[in-house]
């Protein structure tokens, strides 16, 4: 029988450890239990609820964050693994200048339905475009292969990511012409 991950989660008891890291550009100093998952500390201790828990076992990508510049499933990490790390969550993607291009394109293309998968999907898409600024549709499908969506049928999500990549690529081309 499959384990119920949420019910099997250990209770937060015993000594807490100090965790110092940077999240969305801010220094964080928080006490965590050694068995607490990074996703739970983000959501329950720091109230950064953008990263979602879908499967809790690394299959859906709803909890995707950046960990030292790379996409990572926060449900699969212990919080104490983030000691000294630089984290970015969906809350840290927009800047004073506005939304990230990927966020804007998700809105423009209608890539959001219930929204549950979207924070993770956008973080994965941002990582994909940072790695490959001019992706093909196949690159996008492959790059988002670890992020599941139950609502959209994916085509609007893929369009949003392709358009975001093309827009940024075009801006870089124009700036360097």
145 makes contact with ligand FES (CB under 6 A): no
Instruction: Please work out the total of residues on this chain that contact ligand FES, with binding judged by CB under 6 A.
Output: 23
Q: How far apart are CA 78 and CA 116, in angstroms?
A: 22
Among 30, 54, 132, 141, binds ligand FES (CB under 6 A): 54
Q: How far apart are CA 6 and CA 10, in angstroms?
A: 9
Collapse the DSSP code of 164 into the 3-class scheme (helix H, G, I; strand E, B; otherwise coil) and give the result.
helix
- Shortest Cβ 106–ligand FES spacing (Å): 10
100 makes contact with ligand FES (CB under 6 A): no
Q: Which stretch binds ligand FES (CB under 6 A): 14-22, 77-85, 114-122, 166-174?
A: 114-122
DSSP for residue 33: -
Q: Which stretch binds ligand FES (CB under 6 A): 14-22, 81-89, 106-114, 125-133?
A: 106-114
Number of continuous H segments (helices) and E segments (strands) in the chain: 6, 5
Q: Which stretch binds ligand FES (CB under 6 A): 8-16, 40-48, 51-59, 129-137?
A: 51-59
Expressed in angstroms, the distance from the first to the final Cα of the chain is 60
């Amino acid at each position: 029988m499959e384990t119920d991950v949420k019910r099997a989660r250990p209770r937060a008891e015993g000594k807490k450890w100090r965790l110092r890291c940077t999240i969305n550009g801010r220094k964080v100093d928080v006490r965590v239990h050694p068995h607490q998952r990074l996703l739970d500390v983000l959501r329950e201790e720091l109230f950064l609820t953008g990263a979602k828990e879908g499967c809790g076992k690394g299959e859906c990508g709803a909890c995707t964050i950046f960990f030292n510049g790379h996409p990572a499933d926060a449900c699969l990490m212990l919080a104490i693994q983030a000691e000294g790390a630089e984290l970015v969550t969906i809350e840290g993607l927009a800047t004073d200048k506005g939304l990230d291009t990927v966020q804007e394109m998700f809105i423009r293309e209608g890539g959001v339905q219930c929204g549950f998968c979207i924070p993770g999907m956008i973080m994965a898409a941002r990582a994909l475009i940072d790695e490959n600024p001019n992706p093909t549709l196949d690159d996008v499908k492959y790059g988002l292969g670890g992020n599941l969506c139950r609502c959209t049928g994916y085509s609007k999500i893929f369009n949003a990511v392709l358009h975001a990549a093309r827009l940024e690529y075009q801006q870089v081309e124009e700036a360097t012409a």
